[in-house]
Amino acid sequence: MLLTIDAGNTRTKWAVFNDHGEISQQHACLNEQLASVNFSPAVLGYDHTVISNVAGEQHAALLTQTLSPYKLPIRWTKTSTQACHVVNRYSKPETLGSDRWTALIAAWHIKQAPCVVVNAGTAVTIDALHSCEINHELHGEFIGGLILPGLDLMQQSLGLATAQLPKTDASQAPSAPKLDDIFANNTADAIYNGALHAIVGAVQHMVDALTQHSQQVPYIIISGGNALVIKNALTRYVTNQAIIVDNLVCQGLYLLATSTSNENTMKSDAQ
């Protein structure tokens, strides 16, 4: 049984996988609430842990402190040039965030076809996954991507950087934004729709570029806290191609942990 932890900029998500690769438990908390989480193996039923952390060294130390009483092996994900039949074409492969890398690995194993992989959290990452043959075997090939402020962060930044625009948060978002009406007639809708259109437009632009590169229309795989909002906005353009996959990073962590090549992609820190 494996505990996978996806430590993001704002929230920490975790999922426990059984021996059949199925999620038996899954939870999330704000990063500042991590110390209060009960990660006891007696409660969650796991015997080792694998972690993707993009929240910085301080959060990594907190994770270590939280898990150390259980004296179980911990592995911290490191991005590599190739793993689990996915090739990383970043100019400096090790600088690709471990959350993006594990999400790409999970997406490839779900579809094994060209995909645009969207992680919609504090930041939005939009990554292109091409398919190629290596030694007569089909591989996923990460060819590059985009990073944008997330839906909430984009709105908040306008409030912080401008004198007359209101400060907004997710609770102020329109309950039913009318994306087909570009002429928002109040400031709150104009900010929200502007942010959402920016993200949707970037995803659509990536889809168009990857379609031309791969000579086929890619799938769109979306994960993260704002996945549903983005998918609903995309349906007018790519109705049958966009899907939401919960815990995409955790699924990639499971694949890395169980892959025969995982020794090349992770460092072990037995507690």
Superfamily of domain 2-78+256-270 in CATH is ATPase, nucleotide binding domain (3.30.420.40)
Q: What is the mean pLDDT of residues 241-259?
A: 94
For the sheet with 23-30, list strands across it: 23-30, 11-17, 2-7, 48-53, 73-77, 266-270
| Number of residues written out for the chain | 271
So what's the pLDDT on residue 161?
47
pLDDT in tens, 202-217: 999 999 999 999 999 9
Three-state DSSP class for residue 193: helix
Task: Summarize pLDDT for 29-87 with one digit per residue, the tens.
Answer: 999 999 999 999 999 999 999 999 999 999 999 999 999 999 999 999 999 999 999 99
pLDDT digits (tens, 9 = 90+) for 77-120: 999 999 999 999 999 999 999 999 999 999 999 999 999 999 99
CA-nearest of 261, 248, 242 to 106 is 248
Q: Token digits for 149?
A: 């402020």
User: What mean pLDDT do residues 262-266 have?
Assistant: 44
Phi-psi region of 214 (alpha: psi -120 to 50; beta: other; left: phi over 0): alpha
Distances (CA, A) of 52 to 36, 102, 178, 181, 267: 20, 8, 36, 40, 12
123 phi and psi, to 5 degrees?
Answer: -110, 160
Q: Which residues are catalytic?
A: 99
Cβ 249 vs Cβ 105: under 8 Å: no
The DSSP letter of residue 164 is: S
- Asked if the domains 2-78+256-270 and 82-251 are classified in one and the same CATH topology, the answer is yes
- pTM, rounded to two decimals: 0.87
**Confidence (pLDDT) at 233:** 86
Q: Are 188 and 174 in contact (CB under 8 A)?
A: yes
* In the chain, where the domains are located: 2-78+256-270, 82-251
CATH architecture assignment, domain 82-251: 2-Layer Sandwich (3.30)
Predicted confidence (pLDDT) per residue in 152-209, tens digit:
888 887 755 454 445 555 444 454 555 556 788 888 888 888 889 899 999 999 999 9
pLDDT confidence band for 269 (50 / 70 / 90):
very low
- CA 61, 67, 72, 74 dihedral sign is negative
Q: pLDDT digit string (tens) for 10-34?
A: 999 999 999 899 999 999 999 999 9
